[in-house]
Each structure stands twice: as structure tokens, then as C-alpha cells.
Amino acid sequence: MMRRCLLLVALTAIAFGLVWFRISGKAAFLTSRRQSIIEVNGTPVPGEILLNKFSAIVTRRDAGKSHSYQLFFEGDVDFTGDMGSVVDCHEWVAPHLPFLLVTQSYPPCRRLPEDGPAGQRWPLIARGRSIQFVTKDHTTISVVTHE
């Protein structure tokens, strides 16, 4: 009985902590979007997208090439289709979970000097029912939404 009570207290404390982080703006949640398909150069690959209104993590999980990218939505789309920017997550690959807690320092997706000149950004482009971006090695990654 004592273990159940301690477990209930611990779970309640964790829940209140998560709610406080969310309300205070110190954390956000990304949730899985199962209706989306990840394509690399037009070919569907295993992977997933975790997103909210402001950002997303796109992870491709094809054999030997698992890699994650963080997308930032700017809130509008200009006449060229530019709707945001992309940052490479380098060695970090998103865990395969239905949600992800995002804080100021997690996920560790940061722009590094080898990513190119400081002022240069990777644009995130809207193309009909998909969003896409081109990586450093000129691979086109698309997230196609089927709703």
C-alpha cells in the first residue's frame, strides 16, 4: 500500500512539474503526426514528424541513414513558398516516441560553423500538400501530409 501511495505522489509531482514548465513557457511539447510521410528525393522512407504550431522535428530512419532535423515555422508563407528555416541536429537522432518535450537546450539541434556561413539559412519551402528542404549534401527531404 505504501508503494502505491509513493508512486501516486511521484506521478502527481511529475505531472504538476510538466504542466508548470508548459504554462511558464520554459518547455513545449511536440506530438507525432501519423498522417505524414517522409520522402527523400521523392522516395518514401521510414521516419516520423513530431510537431506543434511553432516547430517540428523530422526524422528519417532509413537503414544506416537515421538523421533528425529541426524545423522552425515563421507563421507566414512568402511568394516563393518560404515558410521557415531548418537546422541540422547532427549526431542527435530523435527518440521514437509519440511526443517530445522541448526546452531551451533540448533537442540539441544547433547551427555549427561547418553548416555554412553564419547569415545563410536553410529555407523550409511549402509545396502544395508538402513541406520540403534541401540538405547540405543536396538531398531533398519532403514531409507529405495526407489528411
Residue 60 lies in a domain: yes
Residue 115 lies in a domain: yes
Residue 1 lies in a domain: no
Segments forming the whole domain that contains residue 131: 26-145
pLDDT score of 147: 61
Q: How confident is the model at residue 100 (pLDDT cuts 50, 70, 90)?
A: confident
Residue 140 lies in a domain: yes
Residue 52 lies in a domain: yes
pLDDT score of 46: 94
Count of domains forming the chain: 1
pLDDT score of 86: 92
How would you class 120 by CB atoms within 10 Å of its CB: exposed for 0-12, middle for 13-18, buried for 19 or more? exposed
Residue 83 lies in a domain: yes
> How far is the C-alpha of 48 from the C-alpha of 71, rounded, in Å?
13
pLDDT score of 22: 59
Residue 12 lies in a domain: no
Peptide bond before 44: cis, by omega within 30 degrees of 0? no
Q: With 70 as the cut, is the pLDDT of residue 119 above it?
A: no
Residue 103 lies in a domain: yes
pLDDT digits (tens, 9 = 90+) for 14-69: 777 666 665 666 677 788 888 889 999 999 999 999 998 889 999 999 888 899 99
Q: With 80 as the cut, is the pLDDT of residue 13 above it?
A: no
pLDDT score of 53: 87
Q: How confident is the model at residue 116 (pLDDT cuts 50, 70, 90)?
A: confident
How would you class 56 by CB atoms within 10 Å of its CB: exposed for 0-12, middle for 13-18, buried for 19 or more? buried
- Calculate mean pLDDT across residues 114-132: 82
